[in-house]
Structure 1
Amino acid sequence: MMPKHVLALALGTLALCIAEFSMMSILLPTAEDLSVTVPEAGHFISAYATGVCAGVLLMVTIARRIPLKRLLLIIAALICLGNTLTIFAPSYSLMIVSRFIAGLPHGAFFGVGSIVCAKLAGPGKASHDVSMMVAGMTIANLGGVPLASFLAWALSWRAAFVIAALLALLALLAIRLWVPQTEPLPDRGFKAQFRFLGTLEPWLVLGAIGLGNGGFFAYYSYVNPVIEHVAEIPASMMSLVITLAGAGMVLGNLFCAKISSRFSDPSLAAAGQGCLFITLVALFFMAHWAPAAVLLTALAAACVFFISGPEQVMMIENAGEGQLLAAALAQCSFNAGNAVGAWLGGLPIEAGKAANWAAMPGIFLALAGFGLLFAKWQIHLIRQRERMEDRVEALQEALRDK
């Protein structure tokens, strides 16, 4: 059974990810309502992701001394506020501003939530509990985002953000009731948080998160026109397509949690990223065939959420005093990839290509992300081998002493 504190945090990720991912499935009605082009509506995705990155800087500056539970309550309140502003945004400019504000608490929530999960988890359960917290993201895509897509078709695209704001309020109450009091992380000064960045490995992981997720979002940001215009699936079926993609996210996340104790985090992440690269290649060539477009979209979504838990754990496990920064930077990189991917994916469409060409930049981004994760995996194997050799040597010395 999922611990109550993990469930409370999963409610927060559910709210965040309905706010973030709904935009992809309601891009066409939003663009029409605000009288902008589809690539311009894609800027709303980038604005949210930019807010995520800015929010990390704010957190590092002002949140170091705040107890983690109190910090989570403040962040949940900001999630509710940001989505409420988005509900009432009347124009392109104000929509950009409201989406930026809504994105500010995103990285902070995932960062603090991951640390709370890791602190309260039993031995060997950190990756499992973080994956369960991330399950809020997958459930958002399985149920929340398809519901938002349906409501956008039946009522208004703004309904998605009504749902997100209400869930954020519910998450705030659950955190207050179910998350135990936790002390602030050790504060050894502003500079101490950045020491872990003096090694290569966190940069490999950050780069892989940005490039890998950028590859996915180059395609997925334009899944609405791909499904309707390329695969020629009716708009009324869009919510079903998004539901299947959400199911892929849930299954990918749960499968990773199930096997996380059998394999190392670097090996899991590299395998998932390699699968994402192959899937995007297949999507580019097969998007015109409706069954392939739907199934491959679900598989790509499964790959992204398969690797999210291991990547988050790899960032915080060796960060020392910089755990809060490390966890938040992982989300910053995720959303920077989201922003860049959405922009790059829109370039071929702006140039007059069919919507499936959005996958082409994604292919190269995903391949680069795989290269970085493969390098991280090889470093892990080398260090594992060195530790084994040290143990054998120590055992041999002990036997000689006897």
Structure 2
Amino acid sequence: MKKSLFPLLLGGLAIGTTEFVMMGLLPDIAANLNISIPVAGHLISSYALGVVVGAPLLVLISGSYPPKKILIALMVMFTVFNTASAFAPNNFTLLIARFFAGLPHGAFFGVGAVVASRLASPGKQAQAISVMFAGLTIANLLLVPLGTWVGHVYLWRYTFAIVAFIGLVTLLFLYLWMPALPVNRSGNARSELQIFKSTETWLIILITGIGTSGLFCWISYIAPLMTEVSGFKSANVSYILVLAGFGMVVGNVAGGWLADRVKPITATVWLLTAMALTLLCIFLFSGNQIISLLLTFIAGALSIALAAPIQILMINTAKSAEMLGAAITQAAFNIGNAIGAFLGGLPIAMGLGFNWPSLVGMCMAIMGVGFACLLIRKHKQTADLSLSS
């Protein structure tokens, strides 16, 4: 790994921790702030809203500055508002802090993906991007369980203090090891917004927001799935989440490797198809504990393997607005998170079992494959037109 990519890995580590640790800290925050768990759940939604708003907005505002300065500014914002989260005196203040902490999330990954692709050796762009996402996978494997434990045993505020400290370390390495790449903006904010007139851009957004929501249907309800359907004890759920996190580590490497060897759209179709089949197997076979654990590992791997191919796909499509395009995919991932959690909860509300969200997820993944096939057809039509002219 090039040392210039290490600050991006650290940034992914910090962002992944603050995003996913909240799920485990909800009971502790609710008890400490004297609010209900459903009300505390708004903190997750607030962060996700910040990601969706901040991803395109901050990239558009900062696009005229060198990437290194953008990344440093985003990480300063991230560190400040995670520090504010640690010291928030009440739920309203914490809600606002979480929203602002989410603003730099998508923009950092978007700008970081473009920077990683520019720093990569020829033919290894996707693997370079996967280094950044490796931070997110390591967060799920190690720091999210650790942060949850710290919140349970000590105080949830210490967990956000740890995140803020990682943000400070990331800033140091961005300053020391990130090269001063030149500005790569060919137009202005208005011209970059023209990518939204492209059918290809919207198809990639749909692939990301709809296709990946399938896995969020599953993972949003993994705890009751494992206890009520697979028959594990509640105390074992944290270890099962570590297994899913290990799958993410493996899947991140595999996804980057695959996207550098076949076309990104081909890798996307293969991975979404594998996702649909895995979710179907979760629906059918979660009653068997051994099979359930194996499927948890596979689903965890597929959940992150899509990240690098989709980022490369958008970067290649949004040639005139690479950073904006890459940031938009991060917003779409978070939209998929919200859609998956909502749709996955519908069969549960109807009184069906906790394995049914994965069946809903399978349908969403199949829709993602359909949008990917439409994109392939669009690419073929564009190629045919260019040849005929």
Q: Same fold (TM over 0.5)?
A: yes
Deviation by residue 1:29-85 (Cα, 9 ceiling, x = unmatched): 445555555554443322211100111243144212222111111111111122222
Deviation by residue 1:104-136 (Cα, 9 ceiling, x = unmatched): 100110111111112222221211211121111
Counterpart check, 1:240 vs 2:236: no
Q: Report if the CA contact (8 A) 1:249-1:302 is conserved.
A: yes
Aligned residue type for 1:138 = T
Deviation by residue 1:181-236 (Cα, 9 ceiling, x = unmatched): 12223252222102333222121111111112222122212323333444343343
Q: Report if the CA contact (8 A) 1:46-1:340 is conserved.
A: no
Q: Report if the CA contact (8 A) 1:25-1:242 is conserved.
A: no
Residues 185/142 of structure 1: CA separation in 2 closer, same or farther (3 Å cut) = same
Counterpart check, 1:333 vs 2:335: no
Counterpart check, 1:70 vs 2:60: no
Q: Report if the CA contact (8 A) 2:9-2:133 is conserved.
A: yes
In structure 1, the residue matched to 2:127 is 128
In structure 2, the residue matched to 1:209 is 208
In structure 2, the residue matched to 1:276 is 275
Within 2, Cα distance between the matches of 1:193 and 1:362? Answer: 33
The structural deviation recorded for 1:99 is 2.0
Within 1, Cα distance between the matches of 2:224 and 2:151? Answer: 15
Length, aligned pairs only:
389
Q: Report if the CA contact (8 A) 2:214-2:340 is conserved.
A: yes
Which range moved further: 24-33 or 313-322?
24-33
The structural deviation recorded for 1:286 is 3.5
Task: For 1:98-177, list aligned pairs within 5 A.
Answer: 98-177=97-176
Q: Report if the CA contact (8 A) 1:43-1:343 is conserved.
A: no
Aligned residue type for 2:209 = G
Deviation by residue 1:365-399 (Cα, 9 ceiling, x = unmatched): 22211211233244446667888xx6xx9xxxxxx
Aligned residue type for 1:332 = A
Within 1, Cα distance between the matches of 2:225 and 2:25? Answer: 13
In structure 1, the residue matched to 2:254 is 255
Within 2, Cα distance between the matches of 1:23 and 1:342? Answer: 15
Q: Report if the CA contact (8 A) 1:24-1:221 is conserved.
A: no
In structure 2, the residue matched to 1:24 is 23
Within 2, Cα distance between the matches of 1:143 and 1:386? Answer: 50
In structure 1, the residue matched to 2:364 is 365
In structure 2, the residue matched to 1:8 is 7
Residues 91/225 of structure 1: CA separation in 2 closer, same or farther (3 Å cut) = farther
Residues 177/119 of structure 1: CA separation in 2 closer, same or farther (3 Å cut) = same
Within 2, Cα distance between the matches of 1:359 and 1:157? Answer: 31
Which range moved further: 217-226 or 119-128?
217-226
Within 2, Cα distance between the matches of 1:118 and 1:13? Answer: 16
Q: Report if the CA contact (8 A) 1:283-1:356 is conserved.
A: yes
Aligned residue type for 2:223 = N
Task: For 1:252-331, list aligned pairs within 5 A.
Answer: 252-331=251-330
Aligned residue type for 1:244 = L
Aligned residue type for 1:295 = L
The structural deviation recorded for 1:243 is 1.3
In structure 1, the residue matched to 2:221 is 222
In structure 2, the residue matched to 1:193 is 192
Deviation by residue 1:272-304 (Cα, 9 ceiling, x = unmatched): 111112222222344444333333222112112
Within 1, Cα distance between the matches of 2:305 and 2:196? Answer: 25
Q: Report if the CA contact (8 A) 2:145-2:238 is conserved.
A: yes
Q: Report if the CA contact (8 A) 1:272-1:304 is conserved.
A: no
The structural deviation recorded for 1:176 is 0.5
Aligned residue type for 1:6 = L
Within 1, Cα distance between the matches of 2:239 and 2:142? Answer: 10
Q: Report if the CA contact (8 A) 1:82-1:99 is conserved.
A: yes
Highest CA radius of gyration, 1 or 2?
Answer: 1
The structural deviation recorded for 1:259 is 3.2
SS at match of 2:317: coil
Q: Report if the CA contact (8 A) 2:120-2:128 is conserved.
A: yes
The structural deviation recorded for 1:94 is 3.6
SS at match of 1:317: helix
Task: For 1:366-381, list aligned pairs within 5 A.
Answer: 366-380=365-379
| Unaligned segments of structure 1, at least 5 residues | 394-402
Aligned residue type for 2:374 = A
Kindly, what percent of the aligned residue pairs are identical? Answer: 36
Within 1, Cα distance between the matches of 2:285 and 2:44? Answer: 26
| RMSD of aligned residue pairs (Cα, Å) | 2.7
Q: Report if the CA contact (8 A) 1:253-1:306 is conserved.
A: yes
SS at match of 2:320: helix
Aligned residue type for 1:362 = G
Aligned residue type for 1:330 = T
Q: TM-score, normalised by structure 1?
A: 0.87
Q: Report if the CA contact (8 A) 1:115-1:324 is conserved.
A: yes
Within 1, Cα distance between the matches of 2:133 and 2:51? Answer: 16
Q: Report if the CA contact (8 A) 1:149-1:238 is conserved.
A: no
Residues 138/378 of structure 1: CA separation in 2 closer, same or farther (3 Å cut) = farther
